[in-house]
A and B are shown apart, each in its own frame.
Chain A
Amino acid sequence: MNKVIIIGAGPSGLEAAITCREQGLDVLVLDEYMIAGGRLLGQLYEQPDGTWWNGLEESKIRYEKALELGTRFLLNTPVNNIVQTNEHWTVYTDTESFTAKHLLLATGAAETPVPVPGWTLPGVMSVGAAQVMTNVHRVKPGNRGVIIGVNVLSTAIAMELKLAGIEVVAMTLPVNSQVTNESSQPKEVMNSLLHVSHMAPSKFIKLGSRLMKNDFMKNMGVTFFPKTGVKIWDIPIQLRKAVVEIYGDNEVQGVIVATIDSKGDVVGGSEEKIKADFVCIAGGLYPLAELAAVAGCSFYYSEELGGYVPLHSERMETNLDGLYVAGNITGIEGAKVAIAQGKTAGLTIAHHAGIPGLEKDIQTSIESIERARDKAYIQFHPGVKKGKELLLAEWQNRLGE
């Protein structure tokens, strides 16, 4: 029997596997993707010190280290259910089942879609899909793209597309509806963009971010945001335009954009066509916690963390014995935070598996999660620290009940 099963071979799952193996535990890692690395695979950006964060390379290093340490991997293996019986967890795949006393869910995140009329046409894909095609598979998603949704993730990926020689002709907002809310509100988007201002070589955004500390200035910012957009890396970012339709006979041929007012409502008669052969939908990420839900974990909804997350301790334990979580399933953050969480989860599992003397290491690892969070180059939600505090308070609260 395996001592530890880890579901998800992304940054946190790999780090947890390495940590558990270093403590001498038997580890089996399952992942439905064909390559280990999860969302880390596609990441590529220049860090403040001028070096590149190359997710493909980072994934490979960790995967090979885990293999060297004797971790068992089953890639291309989707998990469809987990069940707790007699203090053991059984993990079901299509053809086999596996049992372990300790189970770590490191299933990461899924992309939040933003529906736009015409978004089922071939050539329309999530922004993460375009990232994986470009950086992992080295295939162009198209030659001329439009990105719908302006946020941290889409801005970073727009730069990556550009780097690969793919033209991004516009980044705009989605047309507003009950299901798009904040992502179609220029002011909200402007607000969130301020948190990526350090990534922008554009003086306008850098200068603007310092000026727009209060609501009044933000309103002014939206009002005076140029209708032609602001260019970041030569990509026009348009907060005053929204895509009202994606058109094409059998595949994407372009989008229809319209001018929107500061509330996100379309100004009639302002529609114009932009030709494109691919469109990316960027609605951000949400924690993928379906297995935790199936297992019966307690949950907590947090806007700051990106949605429903399994309630968990600082040591990455859930309220169910032997079930742990790490990475984006606990809230949307960068890969470096996920790696730090994987380490904590690995140590906590080793501690529960009876390995003595780990208390100090666990405490140190919890502190390094905090440090990674504070130093994060990309922050998905400005309130993530507060979200984590509220979640921890809720955990302690419910433990007391």
Chain B
Amino acid sequence: MQNEKMIVCRCEEVTYKELMETKKTYNCSARELKLRTRAGMGYCGGRTCRGMIDKIAMFQDSPKNNKEVSLKYQPPIRPVSFTDLGGVKQ
């Protein structure tokens, strides 16, 4: 197995190759990289791979913005079931 097949986002099975190619083709920001590939959009909410997406997005250019978190966090930060949301007692 080569580096290319290496998975970065475990939830959505997005590979290193796919992310690097997307970055090179579109020169995208971390957010665009996420939206184009679904990396960071899976079950864990990007808790595992967000740092790696950031690093790939910074490849070749873009100095780190040190005052704002680069990928937005949105509630709920943990998955909530509809049963719980609807207040249905189990």
Contact = CB atoms under 8 A, between A and B. Distances in A.
Are chains A and B touching directly in their complex (CB below 8 angstroms)? Answer: yes
Contact of B3 (A177, A286, A298, A299): A177
Interface string B67-83: 11100111111101100
B1 to A, nearest CB: 4
Interface in B48-73: 48-49, 51-52, 55-56, 59, 64-69, 72-73
A112 interface: yes
Interface of B: 1-3, 5-8, 10, 16, 20, 45, 47-49, 51-52, 55-56, 59, 64-69, 72-78, 80-81, 84, 87
Given A110-B47, A294-B77, A300 B2 contact: no
A115 B8 contact: yes
Contact of B6 (A116, A286, A290): A116
A208 interface: no
Given A81-B77, A113-B52, A179 B67 contact: no
Contacts of B45: 290
B77 A291 contact: yes
A-B pairs, top 5 by smallest CB distance, nearest first, are A80-B76, A81-B75, A301-B66, A293-B73, A117-B1
Interface residues of A, number: 38
Interface in A243-288: 245, 247, 286, 288
Interface of A: 32, 78-81, 92, 94-95, 110, 112-113, 115-120, 175, 177-179, 181, 245, 247, 286, 288-291, 293-294, 298-302, 307-308
12 contacts: A113-B48, A113-B49, A113-B51, A117-B3, A117-B6, A120-B7, A179-B55, A245-B1, A290-B45, A290-B77, A293-B73, A298-B67
Contact of B65 (A113, A298, A301, A302): A301
A301 B2 CA distance: 33
A124 to B, nearest CB: 10
